[in-house]
A and B are shown apart, each in its own frame.
With several copies, the nearest count.
Chain A
Amino acid sequence: MSEASYTPLTRPKMAARVARDVEEGWYVNLGIGIPTLIADQVGDREVIFHSENGLLGMGPAPAPDKIDPWLINAGKQHVTLNKGGSFFHHADSFAMIRGGHLDLCVLGAFEVASNGDIANWATAVDDSAPAVGGAMDLAVGAARVWVVMEHLTKEGKPRLVKSCSYPLTALGVVQRIYTNLAVIDVTSRGFVLRETVPGLSLSDLQAITGAPLLVEENSHG
């Protein structure tokens, strides 16, 4: 049971792992942080990226000499628009989100509970002026909500928990979690382990996970 026996995924590799499960034709919103990296990893599949500030068909960052100051994403980064993209206002943009038109939203999180609750906006109960942005709308609106995050906090505490300790973003919405160590589905029975990095045993993973990990019979563990 040595930590050296397995290698946690890097952030780009985590993004690549999520990207593998993104299907052609999906409309996808990517949160700030690791989720943003997914866009570059979908390869030849045509995936339409949505940015809540009014873009569909968001493309990669422009070359430094091609920056268009009017074209930013929700993370305030300069982006491009792919052919067939469109612009719309905030109410229409969140109609897409809240109305269930996005096939997928990938969010970062501080914690996810085994009932699918997510906490990803306020870092503490007494945080006086946290910035929620579109996180709560995205979490309740998309057809699929996936979370990508480190398996543990910097202090070594589990982020997959029985019940969130941080202020909640939404109740029971997360369907899948990608960490640097594993892929876990959130089911009506709780966390179900789908895969781990090579060399990491279920018991080792369970030891650093704050809620039971189930394994289904036909799981690719």
Chain B
Amino acid sequence: MIDKFVRSIAEAIGAVADGATILVGGFGSVGQPNALIEGLIEQGAKNLTVVANNAGTGHTGLAKLMELGRVRRILCSFPRSAGSVVFEELYRAGKIELEIVPQGTLAERLRAAGAGIPAFFTPTAVGTRLAEGKEEREFDGRRYVMETALPGDLALIEAWRADRLGNLTYRESGRNFNPVMAMAGKVAVVQSQHIAEAGEIDPETIITPGIFVDRVVHLPYGDLAA
């Protein structure tokens, strides 16, 4: 019988090589796989590339991973926000590389990686400094830049509900980047608030089918809305 549930965060994270690319779900504080990020901190891999919408806040989670000097490079759309103190200090000190990616391009590059599309054209960023060095091309008289797929070695996902097959649902704006990152990660691991029996989630409502998911750890740290 297939059973993607594992008993610990460490087991979920598994082996992560130095230099790996880690995709981290979430937008703002919603849908962030905080426990898995802690697990990655524990695990110890370094020289990481992190792909996330934001560059962490305060001194926990992503910010802590960066503060520990474990992140060589970060790709995100919104690095600077209230509380992104660790990132900003590292960046000013030249201790972390940054690639700013427009939010829609970030989402599409992740989906492309998951969908076997190595590159695509987008009108976003044409003529701006984020298009510098990128191939440009016209279609029907409009200018586009070419963007490439952004795959990850490991995707850290937060879900609302999961079953042993790895089928996932999310909650409200907690969905955000999680489904495309689950697709784009060579290995996708999930922390889920709730668990369900196989067949309990209506097959019409599964957002991430289990084919994209490798391991799930049940972390009922509380229904924040309850």
Contacts and interface: CB of A to CB of B under 8 A. Distances in A.
A189 interface: no
Contacts of B170: 87
A55 B100 contact: no
Contact of B80 (A73, A90, A129): A129
Given A71-B172, A90-B177, A168-B127, A137 B211 contact: no
Contacts of A122: 129
Nearest to B103: A134
A53 B180 CA distance: 13
B191 interface: no
Contact of A89 (B92, B175, B198): B175
Nearest to B178: A89
Interface residues of B, number: 72
Interface in A102-148: 102, 122, 128-137, 140-141
Contact of A129 (B79, B108, B122, B209): B79
A42 B98 CA distance: 40
Interface residues of A, number: 60
Contact of B176 (A53, A128, A136, A171): A53
A96 B173 contact: no
Interface string B123-140: 111111110000000000
Interface in A77-111: 81-91, 93-102
Q: Max chain B CB contacts within 10 Å: which of A51, A54, A71, A90?
A: A90
Residue from A69, A128, A169 whose CB has the most chain B CB atoms within 10 Å = A69
A106 B33 CA distance: 32
Interface string A18-32: 000000110100000
A111 B209 CA distance: 34
Interface of B: 1-2, 27-31, 77-81, 87-88, 91-92, 98, 100-108, 110-111, 113-117, 122-130, 143, 163-165, 167, 170-180, 183, 197-199, 203-204, 206-207, 209-212, 224-225
B80 A132 contact: no
A165 B203 CA distance: 43
Given A69-B225, A86-B206, A132 B102 contact: yes
A134 B102 contact: yes
Given A72-B27, A87-B173, 10 more contacts: A25-B2, A84-B164, A87-B203, A97-B104, A98-B115, A131-B80, A133-B102, A140-B126, A170-B127, A171-B143
A70 B177 contact: no
Given A98-B122, A140-B126, A84 B91 contact: no
A154 interface: no
A95 B206 contact: no
B211 A27 contact: yes
A204 interface: no
Contacts of A140: 123-124, 126
A86 B115 contact: no
Interface string A35-48: 00000000000101
Quick one: which of A27, A55, A134 has the most chain B CB within 10 A? A134
B27 A53 contact: yes
B178 to A, nearest CB: 7
A95 B172 contact: no
A116 to B, nearest CB: 12
A167 B128 contact: yes
Contacts of A102: 211
A83 B110 CA distance: 29
Contacts of B163: 84
